[in-house]
Amino acid sequence: MSADENRLQQIFYNLIGNAIKFTESGKVEISASLNFPKQDQQEATEIIIVVSDTGIGIPSHKLDRIFESFEQGESSTARKYGGTGLGLAVTKQLVELHGGRIWVESEVGLGSRFYLALPISKKSVCDTPSLPGSNVNSVRYFIDNVDTTIESQPLESNIPDGDFHILVVDDEIINIQVLNNYLKANNYQVTQAFNGKEALAALENNHNVDLILLDVMMPNMSGYEVCAKIREKYSAQSLPVLMLTAKNQIADLVMGFQFGANDYLTKPFARDELLTRIKTHIQLSKITKSYERFVPYEYVKLLSKESIIDVKLGDQVSTKMAIFFSDIRSFTTISENMTSQETFAFVNGYLQQVCPEIRDRNGLIIKFMGDGIMAVFPDGVDNAVQAAIAQLKKLQEYNQILRSTGWVPVKIGIGIHWGHMMVGIVGEEGRMSADALSNNVNLTSRLEGLTKFYGVSLLISESAFKCLKNPHKYQIRFLDRASVKGRDEPINLYEVLDGEVNYIRELKLKTQVDFTLGLEYYRLGELVSAKDYFEKVLAVNSSDKTAQLYLERIDELMVSGVPKNWNGVWAFTRK
């Protein structure tokens, strides 16, 4: 027979793929025979190829329409198996262009048999050299290299030697295998999913996917729906989605982009074009992720921008947030004994340990100030307090590593406040940076500084305390009522004990009743009684620097006398 080799391969691809798709268990067979129109005829005029399966079958009233575009045997199977798409319609056209015929016999529940009759050429066959540049695999390659056992297959992922990780989502095994071969040959890691549910589960379990190849027509959940779900969590810039489909109408392409796709490639596609598009989108995504190291996507989202390219000088948002400051104690003294290289290694090692605790609780790191961290928590104070507690506990573990390697253990102070602030972009056109500005930012910085003065690890303001959803969830003690620089009204200060080293926390909880009574007598100006209770605290917990601080104040007041209109407020003139 005379035929276009590539188009013949496409015919077989469509028929075999369709048979596999609709056969959950059983077998798919391919056979061929010569057709002799007359019983005594010596020469065959056609070759008859049969692709049969033991799948779901097609109702008899649907047989005449099965070769129409996107026709489906049953509406229920459309939901379960997906549509046949353009495959059979294109197959019929290709067969007829070759002067052949195609028809189908089927019985519901027993399977289908597709007959392909192609005329035999009377011309002699001569060897022709292979044409270069063909990117379409042969049918023999498909059959020899594809496991056609129709069973649930485990996801394949995290192949260690690949440069980038691609999630391939398609309900047809042949498509999966061909894409798998293309990608692995070009050193990509591959995870494969056969439907939308598996794809979303794979993303949930593996967060280092660089790109998704997503078929549009799939069972139960279309590629459009899958893409929409992906975009609820991942932006188009951070996780590109390249849709693969036989649909090539403008309306279909537009729909794909509306659901969040980055690009669209129609089947059948050329291997080189596919690989080029993949490379381009991964490069663009990596560039975007590099920018996000300096201006995180969450920051861009907070400014109500689609991407980093939309951010301009002066963009800002004004709202109430939890503000977070942390700093290493006596870092200047520590760094004096280090080389510049050791100093950077020390700071970066510390930041790598504690910063994930902020991000994991929806915190947004605004900036690093050497060894210090400034962050905001748009979702509330609880996230900020929990991040601080987790950071302090992580630091306890990290200090054990530092001690074992000869480094100096780290102590930090954390201040948290809740208030109105402005977050935005400052600088000039040639150099811009994310920042947060308000008096509340300054107050939070002073709270962090006061942790050293009081000898505590975590200090929160009264506004932060009042915004906690359930304050009794935490171990908190009232610490002081003080007047600080930049604030007309005095503020109440609270210590959160949950992140302290166990033995320190237990001693403070053990003496909390005496500490509270000492504070009350101090506020009332009854200095003798206050002194008695603070001495009781120190008798049990000699390391309580706050109790010692109150004794020093009481001694000073006993000499100078209690001022008129005394209300227990202490003024920090140096802070």
Q: Name the percent of the chain lying above pLDDT 90.
A: 43
CATH 3.40.50.2300 fits 152-292, yes or no: yes
Read off the pTM: 0.62
The sign one gets for the Cα dihedral 405, 407, 408, 410 is negative
* pLDDT tens, residue by residue, 382-424: 999 999 999 999 999 998 988 888 877 889 999 999 999 888 8
Predicted local distance difference test score (pLDDT) of residue 69:
58
User: Torsion over CA of 512, 514, 520 and 523, rounded to 10 degrees?
Assistant: -100
The architecture of the domain spanning 294-305+317-499 is: 2-Layer Sandwich (3.30)
CA distance between the termini of the chain: 94
Q: Is 296 exposed, middle or buried (0-12, 13-18, 19+ CB in 10 A)?
A: middle
Residues 6+ apart with CB under 8 A from 3: 98, 118
pLDDT per residue over 536-566, tens digit each? Answer: 999 999 999 999 999 999 999 999 888 888 8
Assigned CATH class of 5-125: alpha beta
| Nearest of 279, 182, 180 to residue 263 by alpha carbon | 279
CA atoms of 376 and 383, how far apart (whole Å): 10
Burial of 319 (0-12, 13-18, 19+ CB in 10 A): exposed
The predicted-structure confidence for 73-91, as pLDDT tens digits, reads as follows 444 434 455 544 456 777 8
pLDDT one-digit tens code per residue, 309-367: 788 888 888 889 999 999 998 888 888 888 889 889 888 988 999 999 999 999 999 99
What backbone torsions phi and psi does residue 17 show, to the nearest 5 degrees? -60, -40
CB-based contact 102:115 (threshold 8 Å): yes
Task: Compute CA 344 distance to the chain's CA centroid, rounded to the nearest angstrom.
Answer: 29
Q: Which two tokens stand for residue 363?
A: 């915190």
